[in-house]
Structure 1
Protein backbone atom coordinates (compact mmCIF):
# COMPACT_ATOMS: atom_id res chain seq x y z
CA UNK A 1 0.00 0.00 0.00
CA UNK A 2 1.58 3.29 -1.13
CA UNK A 3 0.76 6.15 1.22
CA UNK A 4 1.87 9.70 0.63
CA UNK A 5 4.11 11.14 3.29
CA UNK A 6 2.11 13.59 5.42
CA UNK A 7 3.86 16.91 5.86
CA UNK A 8 3.43 18.58 9.24
CA UNK A 9 0.60 21.08 8.76
CA UNK A 10 1.39 24.12 10.83
CA UNK A 11 4.58 26.14 10.22
CA UNK A 12 4.12 29.39 12.17
CA UNK A 13 1.38 31.21 14.11
CA UNK A 14 0.72 34.86 14.86
CA UNK A 15 -0.99 34.47 18.25
CA UNK A 16 -0.81 38.20 18.99
CA UNK A 17 -3.10 38.98 16.06
CA UNK A 18 -6.18 37.47 17.75
CA UNK A 19 -5.49 39.60 20.83
CA UNK A 20 -4.69 42.87 19.02
CA UNK A 21 -7.37 42.71 16.28
CA UNK A 22 -10.94 41.60 15.83
CA UNK A 23 -10.67 39.26 12.84
CA UNK A 24 -13.46 39.24 10.27
CA UNK A 25 -13.01 37.89 6.72
CA UNK A 26 -10.58 35.02 6.16
CA UNK A 27 -8.51 34.44 3.00
CA UNK A 28 -6.03 31.75 2.04
CA UNK A 29 -3.07 32.88 -0.06
CA UNK A 30 -0.15 31.09 -1.61
CA UNK A 31 3.37 32.44 -1.23
CA UNK A 32 5.94 33.10 -3.94
CA UNK A 33 9.12 31.72 -2.36
CA UNK A 34 12.71 31.14 -3.36
CA UNK A 35 14.35 27.73 -3.01
CA UNK A 36 16.39 28.56 0.09
CA UNK A 37 13.22 29.85 1.80
CA UNK A 38 11.41 26.55 1.27
CA UNK A 39 14.39 24.67 2.73
CA UNK A 40 14.45 26.97 5.76
CA UNK A 41 10.70 26.58 6.27
CA UNK A 42 11.06 22.80 6.19
CA UNK A 43 13.74 23.17 8.89
CA UNK A 44 11.30 25.25 11.01
CA UNK A 45 13.04 28.63 10.68
CA UNK A 46 9.98 30.79 9.86
CA UNK A 47 8.22 33.41 11.98
CA UNK A 48 5.18 35.56 11.17
CA UNK A 49 4.63 37.14 14.59
CA UNK A 50 5.11 40.69 13.28
CA UNK A 51 3.79 40.21 9.75
CA UNK A 52 1.15 42.17 7.87
CA UNK A 53 -0.01 42.54 4.27
CA UNK A 54 0.36 45.56 2.01
CA UNK A 55 -1.08 46.04 -1.44
CA UNK A 56 1.06 47.87 -3.98
CA UNK A 57 0.20 48.32 -7.68
CA UNK A 58 -2.51 45.67 -7.53
CA UNK A 59 -0.25 43.04 -5.91
CA UNK A 60 -0.34 41.84 -2.29
CA UNK A 61 2.91 41.44 -0.34
CA UNK A 62 3.60 39.86 3.04
CA UNK A 63 5.94 42.08 5.09
CA UNK A 64 7.53 41.31 8.44
CA UNK A 65 7.66 37.57 7.78
CA UNK A 66 11.08 36.36 8.84
CA UNK A 67 12.59 33.24 7.27
CA UNK A 68 16.05 32.61 8.71
CA UNK A 69 18.47 31.23 6.10
CA UNK A 70 20.20 27.94 6.78
CA UNK A 71 23.96 27.87 7.39
CA UNK A 72 24.56 25.47 4.50
CA UNK A 73 22.75 27.67 1.94
CA UNK A 74 24.60 28.20 -1.33
CA UNK A 75 27.19 30.95 -1.37
CA UNK A 76 26.00 32.34 -4.72
CA UNK A 77 22.48 33.11 -3.38
CA UNK A 78 21.95 36.35 -1.45
CA UNK A 79 19.57 35.51 1.39
CA UNK A 80 17.42 38.36 2.73
CA UNK A 81 15.47 37.01 5.76
CA UNK A 82 12.84 39.78 5.65
CA UNK A 83 12.33 39.96 1.89
CA UNK A 84 8.74 41.00 0.98
CA UNK A 85 6.97 37.86 -0.23
CA UNK A 86 4.35 38.16 -2.96
CA UNK A 87 0.98 36.65 -2.08
CA UNK A 88 -0.84 34.66 -4.73
CA UNK A 89 -4.49 35.70 -4.65
CA UNK A 90 -7.27 35.87 -7.22
CA UNK A 91 -8.15 39.29 -8.64
CA UNK A 92 -11.58 39.22 -6.97
CA UNK A 93 -9.97 38.58 -3.57
CA UNK A 94 -7.43 41.37 -4.11
CA UNK A 95 -10.21 43.80 -5.04
CA UNK A 96 -12.15 42.90 -1.89
CA UNK A 97 -9.04 43.37 0.28
CA UNK A 98 -8.20 46.72 -1.35
CA UNK A 99 -11.78 47.97 -1.03
CA UNK A 100 -12.08 47.08 2.65
CA UNK A 101 -8.67 48.57 3.44
CA UNK A 102 -9.32 51.83 1.56
CA UNK A 103 -13.00 52.46 2.28
CA UNK A 104 -13.59 50.94 5.71
CA UNK A 105 -10.15 51.29 7.31
CA UNK A 106 -9.40 47.59 7.79
CA UNK A 107 -5.93 46.15 8.32
CA UNK A 108 -4.81 42.95 6.62
CA UNK A 109 -3.09 40.60 9.07
CA UNK A 110 -1.42 37.21 8.60
CA UNK A 111 -2.39 34.75 11.34
CA UNK A 112 -0.82 31.46 10.31
CA UNK A 113 1.50 29.81 7.81
CA UNK A 114 0.96 26.15 6.99
CA UNK A 115 1.55 23.37 4.45
CA UNK A 116 -1.25 22.40 2.11
CA UNK A 117 -0.01 19.36 0.19
CA UNK A 118 3.42 20.57 -1.01
CA UNK A 119 2.58 24.29 -1.06
CA UNK A 120 3.10 26.88 1.65
CA UNK A 121 -0.09 28.81 2.37
CA UNK A 122 -0.77 31.85 4.54
CA UNK A 123 -4.05 32.53 6.30
CA UNK A 124 -4.83 36.26 6.22
CA UNK A 125 -7.73 38.18 7.73
CA UNK A 126 -9.37 41.53 7.28
CA UNK A 127 -9.11 42.95 10.78
CA UNK A 128 -10.06 45.98 12.86
CA UNK A 129 -7.76 47.07 15.67
CA UNK A 130 -9.08 46.54 19.19
CA UNK A 131 -9.11 49.25 21.84
CA UNK A 132 -7.85 48.46 25.37
CA UNK A 133 -11.40 48.01 26.72
CA UNK A 134 -12.22 45.57 23.89
CA UNK A 135 -9.22 43.44 24.87
CA UNK A 136 -10.38 43.38 28.50
CA UNK A 137 -13.88 42.34 27.40
CA UNK A 138 -12.42 39.48 25.36
CA UNK A 139 -10.40 38.23 28.33
CA UNK A 140 -13.44 38.55 30.60
CA UNK A 141 -15.64 36.57 28.18
CA UNK A 142 -13.01 33.85 27.84
CA UNK A 143 -12.68 33.54 31.64
CA UNK A 144 -16.47 33.38 32.05
CA UNK A 145 -16.70 30.62 29.42
CA UNK A 146 -14.00 28.67 31.28
CA UNK A 147 -15.87 29.07 34.60
CA UNK A 148 -19.15 27.93 33.02
CA UNK A 149 -17.36 24.86 31.67
CA UNK A 150 -16.05 24.03 35.15
CA UNK A 151 -19.49 24.47 36.73
CA UNK A 152 -21.13 22.23 34.15
CA UNK A 153 -18.42 19.61 34.64
CA UNK A 154 -18.87 19.54 38.45
CA UNK A 155 -22.69 19.56 38.37
CA UNK A 156 -22.92 16.53 36.08
Structure 2
Protein backbone atom coordinates (compact mmCIF):
# COMPACT_ATOMS: atom_id res chain seq x y z
CA UNK A 1 0.00 0.00 0.00
CA UNK A 2 2.82 2.40 0.85
CA UNK A 3 4.46 1.62 -2.50
CA UNK A 4 1.38 2.82 -4.39
CA UNK A 5 1.43 6.18 -2.57
CA UNK A 6 5.10 6.78 -3.23
CA UNK A 7 4.67 5.80 -6.89
CA UNK A 8 1.68 8.08 -7.17
CA UNK A 9 3.64 11.07 -5.83
CA UNK A 10 6.56 10.28 -8.12
CA UNK A 11 4.38 10.36 -11.22
CA UNK A 12 2.78 13.69 -10.37
CA UNK A 13 4.51 16.47 -12.30
CA UNK A 14 6.05 19.43 -10.50
CA UNK A 15 4.09 22.48 -11.63
CA UNK A 16 6.73 25.05 -10.68
CA UNK A 17 8.83 26.30 -13.59
CA UNK A 18 10.96 28.98 -11.87
CA UNK A 19 11.12 30.81 -8.53
CA UNK A 20 12.57 34.23 -7.80
CA UNK A 21 14.32 33.44 -4.51
CA UNK A 22 15.82 36.91 -4.23
CA UNK A 23 12.39 38.55 -4.09
CA UNK A 24 11.61 37.63 -0.48
CA UNK A 25 15.10 38.68 0.56
CA UNK A 26 14.88 42.12 -1.06
CA UNK A 27 11.18 42.96 -0.50
CA UNK A 28 8.27 42.71 1.94
CA UNK A 29 5.53 40.98 -0.08
CA UNK A 30 2.20 42.64 0.78
CA UNK A 31 -0.14 40.94 -1.68
CA UNK A 32 0.11 38.26 -4.39
CA UNK A 33 -1.64 38.11 -7.76
CA UNK A 34 -1.83 35.44 -10.44
CA UNK A 35 -1.36 36.57 -14.03
CA UNK A 36 -1.41 34.79 -17.34
CA UNK A 37 1.33 35.34 -19.92
CA UNK A 38 1.19 36.06 -23.64
CA UNK A 39 3.91 33.80 -25.05
CA UNK A 40 5.18 32.68 -28.42
CA UNK A 41 5.41 29.00 -29.32
CA UNK A 42 9.17 28.65 -28.85
CA UNK A 43 8.88 30.28 -25.40
CA UNK A 44 6.35 27.69 -24.27
CA UNK A 45 8.66 24.90 -25.41
CA UNK A 46 11.55 26.50 -23.50
CA UNK A 47 9.38 26.82 -20.38
CA UNK A 48 8.52 23.13 -20.57
CA UNK A 49 12.27 22.46 -20.61
CA UNK A 50 12.76 24.80 -17.61
CA UNK A 51 14.87 27.38 -19.45
CA UNK A 52 13.66 30.52 -17.67
CA UNK A 53 15.25 32.88 -15.16
CA UNK A 54 13.28 35.44 -13.10
CA UNK A 55 16.18 36.79 -11.05
CA UNK A 56 16.53 40.21 -12.71
CA UNK A 57 12.97 40.59 -13.94
CA UNK A 58 10.36 43.15 -12.96
CA UNK A 59 6.79 44.15 -13.85
CA UNK A 60 6.03 47.46 -15.59
CA UNK A 61 2.68 49.19 -15.92
CA UNK A 62 2.27 50.99 -19.27
CA UNK A 63 -0.96 52.46 -20.68
CA UNK A 64 -3.15 50.42 -18.34
CA UNK A 65 -1.41 47.11 -19.10
CA UNK A 66 1.10 45.03 -17.16
CA UNK A 67 4.34 43.84 -18.83
CA UNK A 68 7.00 41.42 -17.64
CA UNK A 69 10.47 42.74 -18.46
CA UNK A 70 13.90 41.29 -17.89
CA UNK A 71 12.80 37.65 -17.66
CA UNK A 72 15.30 35.53 -19.57
CA UNK A 73 13.86 32.64 -21.57
CA UNK A 74 16.62 30.94 -23.51
CA UNK A 75 15.57 29.28 -26.74
CA UNK A 76 15.95 25.60 -27.47
CA UNK A 77 18.38 24.64 -30.22
CA UNK A 78 15.48 23.24 -32.23
CA UNK A 79 13.24 26.31 -31.75
CA UNK A 80 12.46 27.22 -35.33
CA UNK A 81 14.19 28.05 -38.57
CA UNK A 82 12.09 31.08 -39.55
CA UNK A 83 11.88 32.81 -36.14
CA UNK A 84 14.71 34.72 -34.50
CA UNK A 85 14.17 34.08 -30.78
CA UNK A 86 14.65 37.10 -28.52
CA UNK A 87 15.59 35.87 -25.02
CA UNK A 88 14.70 38.99 -23.01
CA UNK A 89 11.52 40.10 -24.77
CA UNK A 90 8.82 42.00 -22.84
CA UNK A 91 5.79 39.78 -22.29
CA UNK A 92 2.27 41.04 -21.71
CA UNK A 93 0.59 39.91 -18.48
CA UNK A 94 -3.10 39.03 -18.46
CA UNK A 95 -4.94 40.40 -15.42
CA UNK A 96 -8.54 41.36 -14.67
CA UNK A 97 -9.41 45.03 -15.02
CA UNK A 98 -10.08 45.48 -11.29
CA UNK A 99 -6.74 43.84 -10.41
CA UNK A 100 -4.94 46.17 -12.82
CA UNK A 101 -6.70 49.16 -11.29
CA UNK A 102 -5.64 48.13 -7.81
CA UNK A 103 -2.04 47.56 -8.91
CA UNK A 104 -1.81 50.87 -10.76
CA UNK A 105 -3.18 52.73 -7.73
CA UNK A 106 -0.78 51.03 -5.34
CA UNK A 107 2.28 51.56 -7.51
CA UNK A 108 1.59 55.18 -8.46
CA UNK A 109 0.17 56.51 -5.18
CA UNK A 110 1.60 54.35 -2.42
CA UNK A 111 5.06 53.67 -3.84
CA UNK A 112 4.85 49.89 -4.12
CA UNK A 113 6.86 47.77 -6.56
CA UNK A 114 5.64 44.84 -8.67
CA UNK A 115 7.98 41.86 -8.78
CA UNK A 116 7.58 38.37 -10.25
CA UNK A 117 7.72 35.71 -7.54
CA UNK A 118 7.27 32.42 -9.39
CA UNK A 119 6.21 30.91 -12.68
CA UNK A 120 4.19 27.69 -12.79
CA UNK A 121 1.81 25.59 -14.87
CA UNK A 122 -1.91 25.66 -14.11
CA UNK A 123 -4.28 23.61 -16.29
CA UNK A 124 -1.68 23.49 -19.05
CA UNK A 125 -1.15 27.26 -19.11
CA UNK A 126 1.86 29.20 -17.85
CA UNK A 127 1.01 31.49 -14.95
CA UNK A 128 3.12 34.11 -13.18
CA UNK A 129 2.70 34.97 -9.52
CA UNK A 130 3.48 38.65 -9.01
CA UNK A 131 3.85 40.37 -5.68
CA UNK A 132 2.93 43.86 -4.58
CA UNK A 133 6.00 44.68 -2.53
CA UNK A 134 7.87 47.31 -0.53
CA UNK A 135 11.67 47.33 -0.52
CA UNK A 136 13.59 46.18 2.55
CA UNK A 137 16.43 48.14 4.06
CA UNK A 138 19.61 46.54 5.40
CA UNK A 139 18.39 46.31 9.01
CA UNK A 140 15.15 44.67 7.82
CA UNK A 141 17.13 42.03 5.92
CA UNK A 142 19.20 41.31 9.02
CA UNK A 143 16.07 40.96 11.17
CA UNK A 144 14.50 38.58 8.64
CA UNK A 145 17.66 36.47 8.56
CA UNK A 146 17.78 36.38 12.37
CA UNK A 147 14.12 35.33 12.59
CA UNK A 148 14.61 32.57 10.00
CA UNK A 149 17.67 31.24 11.91
CA UNK A 150 15.69 31.28 15.17
CA UNK A 151 12.79 29.35 13.59
CA UNK A 152 15.26 26.75 12.28
CA UNK A 153 16.95 26.43 15.69
CA UNK A 154 13.56 26.19 17.44
CA UNK A 155 12.49 23.37 15.10
CA UNK A 156 15.77 21.57 15.78
CA UNK A 157 15.29 21.86 19.56
CA UNK A 158 11.67 20.65 19.37
CA UNK A 159 12.74 17.69 17.23
CA UNK A 160 15.28 16.52 19.82
CA UNK A 161 13.01 17.15 22.82
Above 0.5 in TM-score?
yes
Matches within 5 A, 1:100-139: 100-139=106-145
Q: Kindly indicate whether residue 63 of structure 2 is the aligned counterpart of residue 70 of structure 1.
A: no
Cα offsets for 1:23-64 (capped at 9, x unmatched): 011000000000010011111111111111000001100011
The residue that corresponds to 2:94 in the other structure is: 88
Quote the Cα distance in structure 2 between the aligned partners of 1:135 and 1:74: 44
TM-score normalised by L of structure 2: 0.90
* Total equivalences in the alignment: 151
SS at match of 2:55: coil
Structure 2: unaligned runs, 5 residues or longer:
1-10
What is the CA RMSD across the aligned residues, in angstroms? 1.2
Structure 1: unaligned runs, 5 residues or longer:
none
The residue that corresponds to 2:34 in the other structure is: 28
Counterparts in 2 of 1:6 and 1:150: CA distance versus 1, 3 Å: closer
